[in-house]
Structure 1
């Protein structure tokens, strides 16, 4: 979007503010996209050109690939959100990969969604003229099943009105997994420490091998969807006067140079005698005290930690 200086003279203050907001949205979108591409490029360079001693063995590669694909899915989800916010970007048809139908041998459970009343506002009785069906994949440990959400269409011939129950909100818009399946993947990965490539094999034995790339996309999008909950949990935790904090090292692939870098995962929790039982994690590139100050903000109280000088 190129703006000529002469064209700005005739704009009001409100129009200038709207244009500035659109340009800032475009800038954030381009920055997120550049970060995603830089991250992918750094990974490919390392896998191709790294010294033999620094290359991944198959298991390390699978574990790292799971995390990278989840991160990329989270970034892609944020980019999509920024694109929707931007009014300056012209709508373009997005090519979606064709999704294969769910296996016909899986048991199915129908869930019908109908209007509360089949009587039109004009007083006439409406007729059912069709329905929309959306299938969601559900999972109870060891058994897959399919939820068939059927939304009937009702029409009034008198006033030519069509009524249909609204689509229920889903964690992944137009995605096939139910909340139960998503919870299973997240709990298995983070609570039971099952990498996604192992979950892929477990699901395969249950009758449907979900590719780890798909599982990684689900994990990344769930991370973005859960962020408001994390923010609320942090705000609630910072109301306590006693907090515990500690950090542990994790390996991070540094974009740009293709090498791993020691980063840190900080953990914050209320005191042992506080009524709230929770832990909030904050990923940082170092263990410097500035990260704790940024996380705690204006909080004042007793912080319990180890004797590290930082």
Structure 2
């Protein structure tokens, strides 16, 4: 698009023509950027469970497209005439750089003599400060623990200061390096062999097997934290639960089998709970219902979950003639997805109308997010309940007219079979409309799934579950996991 300054014509009209062409090209590019950003915003708002990995891939593709377009725009060397300010693209004002970052001053000395009169006697008038954001590459350092030794003059006893314990007994890594390796693998999805290659570029040879040893030993050190974390999660009266498949490597066979990572989230921020949010994970070699039953053996309250059959026993009374200790809160996002899938293959009037009605419920939820439970409950009774009752009547009427084996009928039956638990949020301000908190908690697992080829053992999966629990809880609370 651009031309070098030396090739520009001298004729004013020719320069104006060049500017007009470039302005048109920039307008088209801006339009494309706006379109991509709009699509990106829609996808980020529409992240729902089973299709989340597809959406993540679409988001990544759009992000890359925007990066490429914006980088190309910055690369173009526009003619000097284009920078006269008349046609330049407006830029947003720069945000101030964060106050918490350390400042490093580079002082530029002025000339020793005045360029006008040649004088050398100056009076300081002030200074001009321009701040730029720079990056200092992460670096290794060797920490020398020095323990001075003394001898008692009175009895010749040797005295030496005690040194704090290291995370890896008789090992070389400090706590900062161990934390970095764990976060790089389980938070940033960098397998150990890739970390080894990165560190080698800095002249530090750390084999994959060495770091794997650190991961295993660090996991044992973290066990007390994990116990406290799980106690905190299950002490809540409202939980979100879900599970996701993970590949498990079977040594010697060259094959993988499918294990499961289960997640349980305590997050009362939508209804103003003071307790900090937290998430914990469990690993199991299969998806049998006995696993969530063991995980939630001491939990009492409401469990937000999808329609997985393995959860059903949880909602049964633990003792005869007693009410169940766990109540099910079904997920409107899952019910919605059944209808959304119907719209992918063509016009689906009933499904589209159902989506519109469910969307109205979500609009109401958006206005009361973060409000106290009594405010949320009152708003739901006044606004949401009539809409839910009208939706139920509308679904019943349509189900009678539809072929019973049609996809629309199946979607309606899925919702109606869970209607009581779908409506539980209407009468309790501490219950959410969906289980998206749990689905957000399993998204990092989907992104890093290729990194977790366990050693064919239950312990390998448990180790990943433990480390992920601490990392994702830190992220929930706005903390740097490292």
TM-score normalised over the length of structure 2: 0.34
Change (3 A) 1:184 1:203: same
Q: Which has more strand, going by share of residues?
A: 1
Q: Choose which of 242, 247, 253 in structure 2 pairs with 1:251.
A: 247
Change (3 A) 1:266 1:207: same
Q: Choose which of 188, 192, 203 in structure 2 pairs with 1:192.
A: 188
Partner of 2:147: 151
Distance across 2 between alignment mates of 1:149 and 1:266? 42
Cα displacement (A) at 1:186: 0.8
Computed over aligned residues only, the root mean square deviation of the Cα atoms, in angstroms, reads 1.9
Distance across 1 between alignment mates of 2:182 and 2:254? 28
Distance across 2 between alignment mates of 1:291 and 1:276? 26
Superimposed CA distance per residue, residues 171-206 of structure 1 (whole angstroms, 9 cap, x where no aligned partner):
111211111111111111111101111111111111
Superimposed CA distance per residue, residues 20-51 of structure 1 (whole angstroms, 9 cap, x where no aligned partner):
xxxxxxxxxxxxxxxxxxxxxxxxxxxxxxxx
Are 1:182 and 1:218, in contact at CA under 8 Å, matched by a contact in 2? yes
**3-state SS of paired residue (1:202):** helix
**3-state SS of paired residue (1:168):** coil
Unaligned segments of structure 1, at least 5 residues: 1-139
Superimposed CA distance per residue, residues 100-138 of structure 1 (whole angstroms, 9 cap, x where no aligned partner):
xxxxxxxxxxxxxxxxxxxxxxxxxxxxxxxxxxxxxxx
Partner of 2:214: 218
Distance across 1 between alignment mates of 2:289 and 2:247? 19
Partner of 1:240: 236
Distance across 2 between alignment mates of 1:254 and 1:211? 22
Distance across 2 between alignment mates of 1:141 and 1:283? 36
Q: Choose which of 162, 165, 182 in structure 1 pairs with 2:178.
A: 182
Superimposed CA distance per residue, residues 69-106 of structure 1 (whole angstroms, 9 cap, x where no aligned partner):
xxxxxxxxxxxxxxxxxxxxxxxxxxxxxxxxxxxxxx
Distance across 1 between alignment mates of 2:173 and 2:137? 14
Cα displacement (A) at 1:217: 0.8
Partner of 1:229: 225
Partner of 1:162: 158
**3-state SS of paired residue (1:238):** helix
Cα displacement (A) at 1:287: 1.8
Partner of 2:289: 289
Cα displacement (A) at 1:153: 0.8
Are 1:247 and 1:267, in contact at CA under 8 Å, matched by a contact in 2? yes
Are 1:144 and 1:207, in contact at CA under 8 Å, matched by a contact in 2? no
Cα displacement (A) at 1:258: 6.8
Distance across 2 between alignment mates of 1:155 and 1:309? 71
Are 2:239 and 2:265, in contact at CA under 8 Å, matched by a contact in 1? yes
Superimposed CA distance per residue, residues 213-269 of structure 1 (whole angstroms, 9 cap, x where no aligned partner):
111111111111111111110011111000111100012235797753211000111
Distance across 2 between alignment mates of 1:141 and 1:295? 42
